[in-house]
Amino acid sequence: MTVEEVRDPDERSRIAREILAGLPEWFGLEAANEAYVRDVATLPTWTVRGEGFLSLKRHGERAAEVYVMGVRRDRHRRGIGSALLDAAEEWAVANGITMLHVKTLGPSRPSRGYDSTRRFYEARGFVPLEETIAFWGEDNPALILAKPLRSGLTVLPLLGWPEVSEGDDLAELVAASAELEDDDVVVLAQKVVSKAEGRVARLDDLEPSERARELAGDEDPRRIEAILQESVRIVRSRPPLLIAETRQGFICASAGVDSSNAPEAGMIVLLPLDPDGSAAGVRERLLALTGRTVGVVVTDSFGRPWRAGTTDVALGVAGIRPLLDLAGRRDRAGYELRHTQIAVADEIAGAAELVMGKLDGVPGAVLRGLDLAGEGTAQELVISPERDLFR
Amino acid sequence: MTVEEVRDPDERSRIAREILAGLPEWFGLEAANEAYVRDVATLPTWTVRGEGFLSLKRHGERAAEVYVMGVRRDRHRRGIGSALLDAAEEWAVANGITMLHVKTLGPSRPSRGYDSTRRFYEARGFVPLEETIAFWGEDNPALILAKPLRSGLTVLPLLGWPEVSEGDDLAELVAASAELEDDDVVVLAQKVVSKAEGRVARLDDLEPSERARELAGDEDPRRIEAILQESVRIVRSRPPLLIAETRQGFICASAGVDSSNAPEAGMIVLLPLDPDGSAAGVRERLLALTGRTVGVVVTDSFGRPWRAGTTDVALGVAGIRPLLDLAGRRDRAGYELRHTQIAVADEIAGAAELVMGKLDGVPGAVLRGLDLAGEGTAQELVISPERDLFR
């Protein structure tokens, strides 16, 4: 389906006249139709040839109204209205508009046609503001709906989760706490993934080795034993701090073994054995539950050399490219950015952390407005030992 | 200042009558005032005792209207209106409302009082949708404004910037490309800050030292000379890669010296000498230009040991706390998160990078929905040599 912007004023009016004439259920007043036909001549207008049209009316700098829209009766429910609205929204964003609104017949006067019109707008993110008789009188109550337009990124916390236990269906919990859209990226803290997968241990069940006792200093040697079991190598140690390379290839404090937010005192949480697999599993199950194709990122808080504090990074990804490769792309002066790869999965993890907090039981977030759908694993984020200057 | 919710219907009416009586410039019609006094009895209402009140009218599931609001004339410009609106918004978000709207006198009928009313709402994120005579007739054109309520974080790219040159006023460029709100965090790429500050150099003006020639290998020794001049120490070298500690204390590739996105071929861009000072300068100037109190973060793309790709990090900050300290806070099981500090300034930098891209000339972003206002510098993000396991 092709949406075209109509630039000729006469053509705008001609298209509006033709389409509106075929929609008496919505546009039954001759005088009102003539006003639309006249007005659209001066308005930004888009059409799918022979099938439908939409005209926007700008109000001031930042707002525009869907002034009139019509799609041929026998072509409804085929995505024509959505395509017209997408084109109008793209134009609006490019022109600095931050809010769209529309007026349509309100629900207090039932009408099958307008009921479906309101459903159309609500499904596309318009929020009903108010029904009022101010515009068209008591017989035709008007409903004003408005929709904020985004040109950037939105990060929404996942709220209202219960404590997660082994066997819980994380995708079901995500679906219950977020209205997902295609191309959303769902971020889940490693802690809830590990708990759902039963990757927890009881300190009482751990028998410290000789080496664990040596490294422990004043610390609990059972915890050090867990770290050693999760590690292939200790990278640095200064008790109580142990920096280890985990069996998944990550280099981080305590090999990711953590006592905070454990199911109960005396327990510890370990990293998922295969965080890319965890992410892929949640992604697949979300598709089955919601019909939405999303990316999934499993994250944890890591320290870094030289810089204070932790930032969240990606341990597992599915459905997104974790590295954005700019090789071959050129700057304004023609200089090739040949060495530049951006670790977008780690930046996604950090952005999610900003809304997740640590103690409020927020287990993840949804990022909307990225364009990173693709294939990849978080293992791509691990520098191979032979290329690494710092191992 | 204390905002209270008023639960008693009679008290709501009593408060409204008292406040509105003192505001003849806005509420000069006896009959309209009596209607307000009557209606607010049934509406959610908040007050700052003796100073002002606000009543919300819910419309359906997801929308609410600021039905009436008044603040004593001699108490204007003290944050009372903002505090009332904050309380109302908090209630609205908790009650599932996603959009607030309000009607006020439109700009086509000039009035000093209502001009400031509109400025109040616009400064708090309301977008003017439409001026209409439908509600109150031709003599009192109504302006409808609407504001989407957020529970998360929004990251908006700064668009439409020209190429930046020495002496350009970055705050002016920010103000022209974003409608700032209080507590926004403005992120600026180091590249535009350096260019505005004249921190660029011509390769032809650099005379390579002996050491630069040694380290250069196949590379341009003049570029290596610039890196040496910007460095206090070379941390690792594997030509063409040099990891250096800069005079600002950062450890990064090429001491931040970069040929990409330079003003022209044969030029390089250097890090700002004092990025915290740069951030503070932009912040102060934004306050002067826009009246908004914001945070500012100056960012650059850094590689990291062990992990592939770059992430953006904070080189300079002003008006925010760069580290969120969770010391003393406890998880659900009572375990103290004693070692946890989150490098939120670096996560802010990464979140901004997700919308900035590399080649599309997007020099920064605005983050809205964080609650990190405070004091601090990006120097707090540099681990002191004696505490650093990796120097």
Fold of A4-148: Aminopeptidase (3.40.630)
CB contact under 8 A, A308 and B63: no
Own/partner pairs for A86-92, CB < 8 Å, 24+ apart?
A86/A3, A87/A3, A87/A5, A87/A46, A87/A54, A88/A44, A88/A46, A88/A54, A88/A56, A88/A64, A89/A149, A91/A5, A91/A44, A91/A46, A91/A56, A92/A56, A92/A64, A92/A149
CB contact under 8 A, B354 and A348: yes
This prediction's pTM: 0.78
B233-249 confidence digits (pLDDT tens): 999 988 778 999 999 99
Spatial separation of the C-alpha atoms in residues B3 and B387, rounded to whole Å: 46
Domains of chain A by residue range? 4-148, 154-387
Q: Give yes or no for a contact between B173 and B283, defined as CB atoms under 8 angstroms apart.
A: no
The more confident residue out of B157 and A179 is B157
A381 contact B CB<8A:
yes
Spatial separation of the C-alpha atoms in residues B249 and B257, rounded to whole Å: 14
What per-residue confidence (pLDDT) applies to B33? 95
Spatial separation of the C-alpha atoms in residues B117 and B123, rounded to whole Å: 10
What per-residue confidence (pLDDT) applies to B5? 97
Residue range B46-68: average pLDDT?
Answer: 96
Spatial separation of the C-alpha atoms in residues A10 and B307, rounded to whole Å: 59
Q: How many Å lie between the alpha carbon of A195 and the closest alpha carbon of chain B?
A: 15
Superfamily the domain A154-387 falls into: CofE-like (3.30.1330.100)
From the list A59, A128, A340, the residue facing B310 with the nearest CB is A340
User: 10 Å Cβ neighbour count for B339?
Assistant: 14
What per-residue confidence (pLDDT) applies to A361? 75
B359 pLDDT above the threshold of 60: no
pLDDT in tens, chain A (391 residues): 899 999 999 999 999 999 999 999 899 889 999 999 999 999 999 999 999 999 999 998 899 999 999 999 999 989 999 999 999 999 998 898 999 999 999 999 988 899 999 999 988 889 999 999 999 999 999 999 999 987 789 999 998 899 999 999 999 999 998 888 888 999 999 999 999 999 999 999 999 999 999 999 888 999 999 999 999 999 998 877 899 999 999 999 999 999 888 888 899 999 999 999 999 999 999 999 998 899 999 999 999 999 999 999 999 999 999 999 877 666 666 666 556 899 999 999 999 999 997 556 789 999 998 989 999 999 999 998 777 777 6
| CB-CB neighbors (< 8 A) of B65 in chain A | 129-130
B342 contact A CB<8A:
yes
| CB-CB neighbors (< 8 A) of B312 in chain A | 347
B209-234 confidence digits (pLDDT tens): 999 999 998 889 999 999 999 999 99
Residue range B126-135: average pLDDT?
Answer: 95
SS3 assignment, position B259: coil
The more confident residue out of B384 and B243 is B243
Residue range B11-16: average pLDDT?
Answer: 97
What per-residue confidence (pLDDT) applies to A243? 94
Interface test mutation site (partner B, options A131, A192, A311, max chain B beta carbons within 10 A):
A311
Residues of B (147-176) whose Cβ lies below 8 Å from A: 148, 150-157, 159, 163
Residue range B308-337: average pLDDT?
Answer: 84
Residue range B185-201: average pLDDT?
Answer: 97
- The nearest alpha carbon in chain A to B264 belongs to A333
Residues of A (180-219) whose Cβ lies below 8 Å from B: none
From the list B310, B337, B355, the residue facing A341 with the nearest CB is B310
From the list B305, B332, B365, the residue facing A390 with the nearest CB is B305
Residue range B74-100: average pLDDT?
Answer: 92
Q: How many Å lie between the alpha carbon of B385 and the closest alpha carbon of chain A?
A: 8
Q: For the domain B154-197+272-387, what is the CATH code? A: 3.30.1330.100
| Interface ipTM | 0.78
B208 pLDDT above the threshold of 90: yes
| CB-CB neighbors (< 8 A) of A232 in chain B | none
Fold of B200-269: CofE-like fold (3.90.1660)
Residues of A (40-59) whose Cβ lies below 8 Å from B: 59
Q: How many Å lie between the alpha carbon of A230 and the closest alpha carbon of chain B?
A: 18
| CB-CB neighbors (< 8 A) of A329 in chain B | 358-359
